[in-house]
Structure 1
Amino acid sequence: MSHPPLEDSADVRESLHASAWARWRPLLMRLHFYAGVFVAPFILVAAVTGVLYALVPQLDQAVSHHQLTVDHVGERRLPLADQLAAARAAHPEGTVTSIRPPAAPNETTQVALKVDDVAPDYGRTVFVDPYTGEVRGALTTFGQWMPLRAWFDELHRNLHLGAVGRNYSELAASWLWVIAGSGLLLWIGHRVGTGRLTRLFVPDAGVRGRRRLLSWHGSLGVWIIAALLLLSVSGMTWSRFAGAHVSDIRSHLTWSTPAVDTTLPSGAAADAQPLDEAVALRGADTALRAAQDAGLQSPIWMYPPSAAGQGWQVAENKRDWPTRYDAVSVDPDSGAITARVDFADWPFMAKVADWIVGAHMGILFGVVNQIVLAAVGVALIAVVLLGYRMWWRRRPTRTAGFVIARGPRRGVLSELRPYEAVLAVVALAAFGYFAPLFGVSLAVFVAVDVALGWWQSARREAGAR
């Protein structure tokens, strides 16, 4: 491919210098640099653990195969009440929170228990052969995840450090879109400035050194930019601080996931006292038949009444495409459907939020989704390492001893027009309020930068005396 004459490239650069891009580029460079150097380690950890999480589902199913499946498919399943009795006879501890009837002929019935001897947010799931009533075992589970997948899920979320560990993933998610967005703009500007905009997605051939590193860093980043933005947005929905703001916004805009009302018409004024478990679990077979007659399809999850005057909640939970989440409330005595919420009636943005989260978790499109997530994670790891390599090569090589590489120049706000500087500060402050860990870390970066600038200035003045 031929390149424009040098004088043409110089004209392009001179034109850019007089443009808004010339004013905004130093700020983008500064943000990209600080986030890349100080936040990229958190993003690197999130990428590595995310790749592991994306690859583990099939292994998780294989490890728990005995509990999840039966040895022989029988001709007729036992009533759900008998299966529940078998589960409670083997494991009388805790209380039943949900039941998942088999979604395939060779699957077991899963009875989830809330118990006190497991970590918070975890439970114990008892697996029952629906044909014989044999209890195939019990595992500590996290929602729908079996132990292996749950372990990698928590590794990705909080590094097994509890609430404190969640700060790492929130910091990574909050900064990821800033790093990716500023990097994309800088790469486009670089390609325009060098007359190679058509090679936005392709690394340069025949270049060496830092130019080669930059070429691969920018090209790989462009290929995964859309996935990074999706991961950043969905990651913040699970975070401790930004996630609370996301929930408030969704609630205010009626984008939240609707829930079926399980209050029975005859029990609207009933005293909401906890039920004895034998009373709560009655009507399980009636509720399952009523839901199936109402058109609900497997996989189905059932939730027994939690108080007097409540019905069974029976809900589809098909999280892969096409998703299904229809839910009904069933009177355990009569089998009447007392309330219904269909997935088709969800607010559009509630559907979009669910799809985004499913894609983030590698569920929405099955194995293809897992492969894409793993590939994006590997590419992100490469982009981060290339970025560090470029930064390291900026260091002076003629200076004796260990020297840290330099960053972009300071004073970038002074290069903006006053209203542009105010706009930049307000935008960063607003997002810092929405995502507090972003705001706090940005404030720390600025404080450190000011302190280093003052120290270097003082050293220069002392050396000039």
Structure 2
Amino acid sequence: MTTDDLVTSPPSSATTPGSRPSLRPLLLRLHFYAGVLVAPFLLIAALTGLLYIFTPQLENAVYDHELHVAADARWQPLEAQVAAARATLPEGRLTKVRPAPSATDTTQVLFSVPGLQDSYAKTVFVNPHDNEIRGVLETYGSGQALPLRAWLDQLHRNLNLGDAGRLYSELAASWLWVVVLGGLALWWGRRRRDKGTGKRAKLLSWHTTTGLWVAAVLLFLSATGLTWSQFAGQNISDLRTTLSWQTPSVPAKAAQAPADAPVISTDAALTAARSAGLSDPVEITMPAEAGSPYVVKQVQRSWPEKQDAAAVNASTGEVTSVLRFGDWPLAAKLARWGIDAHMGLLFGLANQIVLALVCVGLVGLIVWGYRMWWLRRPTQPRFGRPYPRGGLRKLPMTVLFPGAVVLIAIGWFLPVFGVSLLVFLAVDAFLGWRAAHRA
């Protein structure tokens, strides 16, 4: 939020006689409005994201009893572990099993239980060495988030307010890239100017330097964050489908055996998947209906990612289909990597540290921006100078028309951005009219 520019720029910098019309004042206004009005949402996103980043370590500490056991050379059959879980939660419908990937981990058995929200499951944690039940917890999503991480995830996504709360995060993600690109454009335009002295100049220097360091990651977080959003996310999903960029999957619904055929054990399905090259950690999805296959999928989301999947005939144990992560379309791979990097999973601790530093940097940018705005209030208009009247009309059509087309297209694809941009422009037009009327 380079509000100092609003102080030093002449009031009619876009239309001064003898000068070329410029979009710079309009960029300043958009950067200013986004900084002042959208920054609170960005601040919430940064702080809740900072809380979420290190939840894997928090989970291991808080839920150590459920997640970990003492190492032992004995291993119980997977089917016996599943049976112990079934006895613990008889009202549930078995959906998935995550066998213990190491001798110090528990096996996670997932059940669908009436009354649970979408994407949630009841998970029974079983000691793989003696079938001891270590606990039962509600888990969320494909990442098996335990209650603490699930709560922080929803806090970051929608403030735990459901779909209505998702508007906050979509507004933040929709404007973050605009703020960053606008700030970069303003920096490029003033990089050779005298930066001046004083308190505001020092704040502006910190604001600019930090913004340059974190700009690339903020643009990445904006783009990947939009994929989870309510309205823009649906448009992105539709575009991926149109371009055949969606994540592929092995066939899991085609009938492969008679409905009355005996079903092999989870041990046999796991053995078959391992013979096809799938290594731990894996998740076994139970046959969706009679005649459907087991689907076994690798679930490691750190680098290098393990995302291979196999379909196993539930009657014969034959591997009928294998999908290698290496065969995914490039767009699907980029989406997978982008989401995992956004969540701090892709490169482990290094990924988490980078995200944490960027979140702290974003908080600093917002605080410094508001401070600069506050310092200029005694001598400057509260909401900055309106865009010069007639400034847009003086721009050449080769700039104005393509710019309008691009903005309309972006506003349609990112509806929350489009609506809020119209509001900003309407407010700015009103302020300009009021200033002219008073004059």
For normalisation by structure 1, the TM-score amounts to: 0.86
CA distance in 2, matches of 1:207, 1:454: 34
* Mapped partners of 2:263, 2:135: distance in 1: 21
Separation of aligned partners in 2, 1:414 and 1:43: 33
Query: Does the Cα contact within 8 Å between 1:81 and 1:285 map onto a contact in 2?
Result: yes
CA–CA separation in structure 2 for the residues paired with 1:94 and 1:452: 60
Name the counterpart of 2:423. 444
What corresponds to 1:47 in structure 2?
Answer: 46
Q: Is the 8 A contact 1:392 1:405 kept in 2?
A: no
| Aligned counterpart, 2:265 | 283
Equivalence for 1:64:
63
Kept in 1, the 8 Å contact 2:99–2:106? The answer is yes
Instruction: Note the C-alpha offset of 1:230.
Output: 0.4
- 1:265: Cα distance to partner? 6.2
**2:402 is equivalent to residue 423 of structure 1:** yes
Alignment root-mean-square deviation, CA:
2.4
SS, match of residue 230 in structure 2: coil
CA displacement 1:104-161 (0-9 Å, x = unmatched): 1110100111122333332211101111111110111112111111111111000000
What is the rounded CA distance, in whole Å, between the counterparts of 1:456 and 1:118 in structure 2? 55
Corresponding position of 2:435: 456
Alignment partner of 2:101: what SS? Answer: coil
Provide the rounded CA distance (Å) in 2 between the counterparts of 1:322 and 1:241: 32
Partner in structure 1 of residue 199 of structure 2: 209
Partner of 2:120: 122
Q: Kindly provide the amino acid, as one letter, of the partner of residue 424 in structure 1.
A: G
Residue of 230, 242, 265 corresponding to 2:220: 230
Q: 5 Å matches for 1:60-99?
A: 60-70=59-69, 72-99=70-97
Q: Does residue 1:409 correspond to 2:407, yes or no?
A: no
Task: Look up the SS of the partner of 2:153 in the other structure.
Answer: helix
User: Helix, strand or coil for the counterpart of 1:297?
Assistant: coil
Of the candidates 282, 296, 300, which is equivalent to residue 282 of structure 2?
300
Distance 1:393 1:405 in 2: 13
Q: Secondary structure at the match of 2:292?
A: coil
Which protein is richer in helix relative to its size?
A: 1
Q: Give the Cα–Cα distance (whole angstroms) in 2 for the partners of residues 281 and 299 of structure 1.
A: 23
Unmatched 5+ stretches in structure 2? 1-12
TM-score (normalised: structure 2): 0.91
Secondary structure, in 3 states, of the residue corresponding to 2:393? helix
**Which stretch has the larger CA shift, 404-413 or 175-184?**
404-413
Structure 2: which amino acid aligns with 1:242? A
Contact 2:78 2:267 in 1 (8 A): yes
Give matches, 1:361-400, under 5 Å. Answer: 361-397=343-379
Give structure 1 stretches of 5+ with no counterpart.
Answer: 1-12, 195-203, 461-465
Partner Cα separation in structure 1 for residue 291 and residue 210 of structure 2: 57
Alpha-carbon distance in 2 for matches of 1:284, 1:254: 33
Q: Which residue identity lines up with residue 425 of structure 1 in the other structure?
A: A
Distance 1:106 1:136, change over 3 A: same
Q: 1:367 and 1:216 mapped to 2: Cα distance?
A: 27
> Would the aligned equivalents of 1:262 and 1:338 in 2 still touch at CA under 8 Å?
no
Count of aligned positions: 423
The letter of the residue matching 1:209 is: K
**Secondary structure at 2:283's aligned position in 1?**
strand
Q: Given that residues 394 and 405 in structure 1 are in contact (C-alpha distance below 8 angstroms), is that contact kept between their aligned partners in structure 2?
A: no
The 1-side partners of 2:285 and 2:354 are apart by: 34
Contact 1:33 1:408 in 2 (8 A): no
Distance, in Å, in 2 between the alignment partners of 1:415 and 1:123 is 60
Answer whether contact 2:113 2:122 (CA < 8 A) is retained: yes
Shift of 1:281: 7.2
Cα distance in structure 2, aligned partners of 1:30 and 1:55: 36
Taking the aligned partners of 2:388 and 2:109, their CA distance within structure 1 comes to 60
Over 3 Å counting, the alpha-carbon distance change for 1:281 and 1:184 in structure 2 is farther
Q: Is the 8 A contact 2:387 2:428 kept in 1?
A: no
- Say which is worse superposed, 279-288 or 240-249, in terms of deviation: 279-288
- Of stretches 291-300 and 279-288 in structure 1, the one that deviates more from structure 2 is 279-288
- Give the Å deviation of 1:18: 8.1
Alpha-carbon distance, 1:33 to partner: 1.2
Report the 3-state secondary structure (helix = DSSP H, G, I; strand = E; otherwise coil) of the residue aligned with 1:261: coil
SS state of the match for residue 402, structure 2?
A: helix
Distance 2:349 2:232 in 1: 30
Matched, 1:167 2:146: no
1:182 paired residue number: 182
CA distance 1:415–1:221, change in 2 (3 Å): farther
CA distance in 2, matches of 1:414, 1:286: 73
Q: Which residue does 1:256 correspond to in 2? A: 246
Percent of aligned pairs with the same residue? 48
Partner secondary structure for residue 338 of structure 1: strand
Q: Distance in 1 between matches of 2:113 and 2:263?
A: 17
CA distance in 2, matches of 1:214, 1:39: 19
Aligned counterpart, 2:6: none
Answer yes or no: is the 8 Å Cα contact 1:127–1:135 preserved in 2: yes
